[in-house]
Amino acid sequence: MAEFEPKVVAFVCNWCTYAGADLTGTSRIKYASNVKIIRFPCTGRIDFMLLLKSFANGADGIIVSGCHPNDCHYTSGNFHAKRRWIMFKELMDFMGIDMNRITFSWVSAAEGARWAEVVNSTVDRIRKLGPYVSYKQMVNTTVEEEVINE
């Protein structure tokens, strides 16, 4: 069997991390190709349901990244996001959903090298953790249940 290649989804804000990831490319810094970047207007726009949906659809890890505090294009979007992630993390920990699979970070438009580091460290970590079997099992048994019911 081939070595496990993690699927990582990155939710990034348009103004900082997306531009930062662009800089990583233009600076010709190589980083893991496991990550699929999804661009959002702001970290404040990233709904917690999107994270759950990416796990349900086969993601093994998630990166959420945006502007550093005080640098938000919309002044306060990332502050609101920060509070939401604090609550979300506590709820996920309480329900036993693996928060080691989600990286939250602030990466500015000037931090191309840092973006590569965030992606590489996340992919390495997920590779060690392996595929997110327990969540996938829950989703798959659900699908099986429905087939039986039909």
Partner 1 sequence: MNSIVSRAKELLENKSVQVIVGFEAGPTGKARPAFVTYPSKTDILIFDERCVQNLAVYLTKKEVKQFGKIGIVATLPIMRSIMMLISEQQVFAENIEILGVSTEGKYLDIADIQVMQGYIEKCDLSNPSNDQETLAMLNKMSMQEKFDYWQNELSTCIKCYACRQACPMCYCTRCAVECNQPQWIPVQANTHGNMEWHILRAMHLAGRCISCGECGRACPVNIPCHLLTMQLADQAHKYFNVYAGTSEKMSSVLSTYEPNDKESFIL
Which positions lie near partner 1, rule CB under 8 A?
Answer: 48-49, 52, 56, 69-70, 76, 79-80, 82-91, 93-99, 103-106, 118, 134, 138-139, 141-142, 145-146
Q: Look at residue 13 and give its three-state secondary structure.
A: strand
Is the Cβ of residue 110 or residue 138 nearer to partner 1 in the bound state? 138
In the DSSP assignment, the letter for residue 4 is P
Is the Cβ of residue 1 or residue 29 nearer to partner 1 in the bound state? 29
Distance CA 134, CA 139 (A): 9
In the complex, least distance from residue 6 CB atom to partner 1, rounded to whole angstroms: 18
Is the Cβ of residue 1 or residue 100 nearer to partner 1 in the bound state? 100
Q: Which residues contact 106 (CB under 8 A, 6 or more apart)?
A: 16, 65, 66, 67, 68, 69, 78
In the complex, least distance from residue 2 CB atom to partner 1, rounded to whole angstroms: 27
**Which strand (E) or helix (H) includes residue 24?**
helix 17-26
Is the Cβ of residue 35 or residue 97 nearer to partner 1 in the bound state? 97
